[in-house]
Chain A
């Protein structure tokens, strides 16, 4: 029986929080960095006697998918097979790269005494794997990205800058197509942390803010008007901004019907996930002018971007920049590592994802 500390695995590079990582896990766990160049090597490493043997928790970043792929059924099963891995601390608000229902199906027990029972040497195949994400840490940076897209689409700034860089200084850009932000209606689909933060930023102009969520939000300010259907949200918005997670039920949530319910000349902004919109329907609406422009930070199949989107100079297209800055990235790393530390120390991380909370 080994007397070594439990091990945690860093799956996807830590960029900022090396010092914080050392401090958080000092005396609690050894840090092992995942260095597998491909999935086969990773899976081999998880087996008994392999280089990742004894890992009880995993810090995961989407960048690891470049080498070992997403945390699909195969990887979740392999993690569960170890008998020791019980927590995946995901760095990111969106965790669609993790098959969380597979994690849940592995049985689930988050009761404190059950958790204590899984310190390294106990093999308890009836226990499942819990997953945490990093909500909140992404709100400011993502909402700021959405704000940029809203302003740029309304005012045609991307197009204007293109003309300058092409040497024609705003020729061809019709000022009549550009509109003030103030007084326009922003429709928010999903008033979670990011949606609420965006609402706050546009309220400074002010824009009129309406929203639709599965449930009316208890902490929404009174100037956030609830509408009771997605269709109504579409009908009344000048700009529709998406802030829902990607799940089976949200794929193509905004499709032909919803887009056509919007007013002619409307704008869609998406900083959530590409697959929430039916891209073909969106492109048709751009082609016939029903949508005046779209502002996107995400695409169905990143880093591939449908070349048709580039045919419209008025589109504002960012390469998934939502949280790409030093301050937010550091914050997110620390939050994910803290969830992992809390699991080790107290049996549970703070940001357990909603799908797994109901099991308590």
Chain B
């Protein structure tokens, strides 16, 4: 009998490839659970997920079975043979990787598959905030042409300073697109990036980044140590009239501090694709007309979707064939030697 892989969340764009990839290697089963309790009790003998050794996971599945938090991970470890979670997405904050580490379950994600799409979304947010385009569109659609618009508060992109927090794949790609104008690019990372182009100026602290940036853009992952990285202090260090962009994760930024700064005009606007508690959006954000607010569509293009699905399934397949997949998340890279192999 072939081992099974469970799709926690459907494959939408590469269904043909899915069939080909696992032909003769594994049986693909689909999530049929309507609740977490059903999910967890279905890996045993006779259950729909019996024999599952690896899981393909999308964030959308948390609507039904909840996030892959510590209780779920421990339950999986106790009650199933699952030893690999192939996450579809670059951000894997919905998986408790520490619990996985403790229980010998490996996790892979899909870095780089989102880079171009997310950097493009960030560029869009920046253009819209600097030039008040989103507000102007709403004004047109409500029949007032450009009435509330005031060119005095609106600026060109060229020549302004872009501060990037985290010069990883997405940050660097966004820097590249902004450099075309050009903007002056400064960045802060935990470590200075060795391969950064010479037009990316390293600054030695988040404080320095905030002091000099006209636009501050967040490109770091969400984990326990990065919650609230941009808070009251950092926002107030930005120059008055600055713009904040976030296409990473909502909780990296302190939302209350942002809202206060929008209320008193310290921030002229924010461009967001992510929120602390999606899909809920704090209604106060909608009261600041100059903001541009996207519903987490940073990685949402047909091409990015295909790329992520293929990558995640590929990671899964590699695990099935060779006992180890690609794109192991950073926290677990050192654990490869401790893997429970098939």
Interface residues of A, Cβ cutoff 8 Å to B: 15, 140-141, 144-145, 147-148, 151-152, 154-158, 160-161, 163-165, 169-170, 173, 175-183, 200-201, 203-205, 302-303, 305, 310, 316-321, 324-329
Bound together, the chains give a CA A205 to CA B179 distance in angstroms of: 11
Taking residues whose C-beta sits less than 8 angstroms from the other chain, chain B's interface range is 35 or more
10 intermolecular pairs with C-beta atoms under 8 Å apart: A148-B128, A155-B301, A157-B124, A158-B137, A164-B293, A180-B117, A305-B145, A319-B146, A321-B133, A324-B149
Choice from B13, B295, B303 contacting A169 with Cβ under 8 Å: B295
- Identify which of residues 290-342 in chain B touch chain A, using a CB-to-CB cut-off of 8 Å: 292-297, 300-305
Report chain A residues within 8 Å CB of B145.
Answer: 302-303, 305, 319
Instruction: A178-B302, A329-B151 are known; give 13 further A-B pairs, CB within 8 A.
Output: A140-B157, A151-B124, A155-B301, A158-B137, A160-B297, A169-B279, A169-B295, A170-B297, A204-B179, A205-B116, A318-B140, A319-B136, A328-B156
B180 touches A201 (CB 8 A): yes
Q: Does B154 contact A (CB under 8 A)?
A: yes
Is A318 within 8 A of B116, CB to CB?
A: no
Which listed residue, A141, A160, A165, A203, touches B180 by the CB 8 Å rule? Answer: A203
Q: Name the distance in Å between A55's Cβ and chain B's nearest Cβ.
A: 28
How far, in angstroms, from A141 to B130 measured CA to CA in the complex?
Answer: 11
A169 in contact with B278 (CB, 8 Å): yes
Asked if B177 and A164 make an inter-chain contact with CB atoms under 8 angstroms apart, the answer reads no
- Decide: B177 and A204 in contact? CB cutoff 8 A: yes
Measured between beta carbons, the chain A residues less than 8 angstroms from B303 are 179-180, 183
Distance A204 CA – B181 CA, assembled complex (angstroms): 10
Given A140-B156, A165-B286, A178-B302; A205-B294 close (CB under 8 Å): no
The A/B interface has a contact count, at CB < 8 Å, of 155
Q: Judging by beta carbons under 8 Å apart, are B157 and A144 in contact?
A: yes
Instruction: Please state if B131 and A144 are interface contacts (CB–CB under 8 Å).
Output: yes
Q: From residue A68, how far is it (CB to closest CB) to chain B in Å?
A: 21
From B120, B146, B286, B305, A151 is in contact (CB under 8 Å) with B120
Known: A310-B141, A324-B151, A329-B151. A148 touches B127 (CB 8 A): yes
Known A-B contacts A204-B180, A303-B145; A325 and B140 likewise in contact (beta carbons under 8 Å) = no
Cα-based distance from A319 to B296 in the complex (angstroms): 26
Task: Report chain B residues within 8 Å CB of A182.
Answer: 116, 120
Instruction: Say if the beta carbon of B158 comes within 8 Å of chain A.
Output: yes
When chains A and B are docked, how far (Å) is the Cα of A161 from the Cα of B135? Answer: 11
How far is it, in angstroms, between the C-alpha of A103 and the C-alpha of B309 when the chains are bound?
A: 63
Nearest CB of B to A139, in Å:
10
A324 nearest CB neighbor, chain B only: B151
Q: Please report the C-alpha to C-alpha distance between residue A154 and residue B117 in the assembled complex, in whole angstroms.
A: 11
